[in-house]
Amino acid sequence: MAKPLPLSDWHLDCARRTLLDGGVIAYPTEAVWGLGCDPWDALAVERILELKQRPMEKGMILVAASVSQVRFLLDPLPPELRREAQQYWPGPVTCLIPDVHSQVPEWVRGKHRTIAVRVSAHPVVKALCETAGMPLVSTSCNPAGRQPARSSWQVRRYFGDQLDRIVPGNLGGNRKPSRIIDIVTGQQLR
């Protein structure tokens, strides 16, 4: 796989404006293309769920540029659980973290009492989260039952003009989507 390319300031500004205006973007991640939006914008999350034909109950992943962007979820946890999650970051591991004070909206959390969180090392993902100033919803870029997109042309094939922006860049070197680990039980779910 090609090394992920940094985004130009222009691409970052366009993506930031799209996200802050309630838009849905597609962007490269560690292994597959992702769909993302502002997690606190119910209408944007609803659009992603409709595009994917995914029920809200399943929940979504939050992806962040740094631990500080998800500190609000980690601080209420006992120190040993904070350490457990942080040992995997930054990197391609999604941790299920107890949402102790229900700080993440139900439309992101789904029916769960945990929230799926990843602090990414992918330069495009990091740049998007940094420029937006928040973690983003991150879910694979594909309709339910289809293979996740591995190229921008496949993103276009799946969703055509239904997206507000396709952020340029290359996938990272991973062949499979992020592992998912429950930090309370230690169970690997994917």
| pLDDT score at 70 | 97
Confidence of residue 186 (pLDDT cuts 50, 70, 90): confident
- The pairing of beta strand 61-64 with beta strand 136-140: antiparallel
What are 13's two structure tokens?
């500004």
Q: pLDDT tens across 109-163, in order?
A: 999 999 999 999 999 999 999 999 999 999 999 999 999 999 999 999 999 999 9
Pick the closest to residue 172 from 140, 125, 130 (CA basis): 125
Whole-model pTM: value is 0.91
What's 9-182's CATH class?
Answer: alpha beta
For the chain, domain boundaries: 9-182
pLDDT exceeds cutoff 90 at 34:
yes
Q: Tell me the per-residue pLDDT of 54-76, one tens digit each, with 9 for 90 and over.
A: 999 999 999 999 999 999 999 99
Q: Which two tokens stand for residue 154?
A: 């496949």
Asked whether 27 and 80 are in contact (CB, 8 A), the reply is no
